[in-house]
Amino acid sequence: MGCPSPESAVNLANRLAPSCHPLPRAAEPMRAVPADAADARRGSLDAVLASRHAGTRRLRLDYELVGPAGAPVVFVAGGISAHRHVAANALDAAPGWAEGLLGAGRALDPSRLRILAFDYVGADGSLDAPIDTADQADAVALLLDALGIDALAGYVGYSYGALVGLQLAVRHAQRLRKLVAVSGVHRPHPYAAAWRALQRKAVALGRLQCADEQGLSLARQFAMLSYRTPEEFAERFDALPRICNGQVRVAAEDYLDAAGAKFVARVSPTAWLRLSESIDLHRIDPAQVGVPVSVIAVEGDRLVPMADAVELIEGLGGRGRLRVLRSPYGHDAFLKETDRIDALLASELFGPASRIPLPASTGVPA
């Protein structure tokens, strides 16, 4: 690869306009709604949430529900930057945050299931107060009440979404029948918490410099190192450094800069800070989980070590089942190993131990 152009090479701080205020975001283009959009529903609900650390709050719950009426409902939740748009559908053809995990023939097939997702409490940056995973679980229960859904056939949570699912299985066990927790356990590991603390300090330093976006971009770049593995970086970025505009630039910098710039274009610094904190506030007692749980752990995950997944399984007793995925992608394996994750979901949601009924015509093992 050659050197970046002078405009983009100095550093990210010079490529992002410094500002003490959020940069204006481009309006989302209007899209025509196909005639078959009846199976896709997007909406917002006003709710009152008694939060654990910030008192009672009025807030809006933004959700997306895709799939035929009457089909079993499965809730899908991702990391702290995930949102209600999981995959392209009749209402919105744009790719979702988990595009490869949903689709015809997949375990999460929106022609056979109703897939429900929402924007996390605080994701819009309007709540500048500590947010607990328990608050997110209570918000899920409020959403189910408003939509008239007595119980979820399943809940699939990745990373932060797994933490929320575990809280739901403790606080509202009657609202779901099966939980699949991928790369998320009962408590944060101290090493991972230290990574996040440094990321938050990068954002704080950016704010002191009247450069929120630059701080958030740097935090995201730090995060990418914790999400992935040294093995992946050795394979992708094993190249000699370059001297560009009088400065040494290593092979991974283009990738990290792009990841940071992409992130700040869609995430509020306040939202990211509060949801990052939320991971470190997370605690549950595995003995209080009231539903069957499949825990999918990734070897090499630097944020959720295998030992913590084993500890969760031991605490769950007979309600837990551990599946192990080997991947060079570490914590991000659920976004990269879509075929392998799909196979695990088919087994854990619809295998012999599952109680989720599906129409006979589905291709998912019963």
pLDDT of residue 351: 76
331 flagged as catalytic: yes
Exactly one of 51, 81, 159, 354 is catalytic; which is it?
159
pLDDT of residue 175: 97
Q: Around Cβ 271, how many Cβ atoms within 10 Å?
A: 23
**How do residues 188-210 score in pLDDT, each as one tens digit?**
999 999 999 999 999 999 999 98
Buried b / exposed e over 195-223, threshold 16 CB at 10 Å, is bbeebbebbeebbeeebbbbbbbbbbbbb
pLDDT of residue 11: 44
Show the 3-state SS of 256-325: HHHHHHHHHCCCCHHHHHHHHHHHHHCCCCHHHCCCCEEEEEEECCCCCCHHHHHHHHHHHHHHEEEEEE
Residues 6+ apart with CB under 8 A from 222: 195, 198, 199, 202
**How do residues 75-119 score in pLDDT, each as one tens digit?**
999 999 999 999 999 999 999 999 999 999 999 999 999 999 999
pLDDT at 22 over 50: no
| Strand 73-77, strand 179-182: pairing | unpaired
pLDDT of residue 30: 33
User: Strand pairing partners for 319?
Assistant: none
282 flagged as catalytic: no
Exactly one of 135, 138, 257, 301 is catalytic; which is it?
301
**How do residues 230-277 score in pLDDT, each as one tens digit?**
999 999 999 999 999 999 999 999 999 999 999 999 999 999 999 999
The angle at the Cα of 336, spanning 342 to 163, to the nearest 5 degrees, equals 75
Rounded Cα–Cα distance for residues 320 and 330 (Å): 22
* pTM score: 0.85
301 flagged as catalytic: yes
pLDDT of residue 350: 87
**How do residues 140-166 score in pLDDT, each as one tens digit?**
999 999 999 999 999 999 999 999 999
pLDDT of residue 3: 56
pLDDT of residue 354: 57
Give me the chain's average pLDDT, please: 88
Q: Cα-flanking dihedrals φ and ψ of residue 8, to 5°?
A: -105, 0
pLDDT at 39 over 70: yes
**How do residues 311-326 score in pLDDT, each as one tens digit?**
999 999 999 999 999 9
pLDDT at 289 over 70: yes
Rounded Cα–Cα distance for residues 222 and 111 (Å): 39
CB 139 within 8 A of CB 48: no
Exactly one of 132, 268, 331, 347 is catalytic; which is it?
331
Q: Cα-flanking dihedrals φ and ψ of residue 190, to 5°?
A: -60, -35
Rounded Cα–Cα distance for residues 346 and 351 (Å): 7
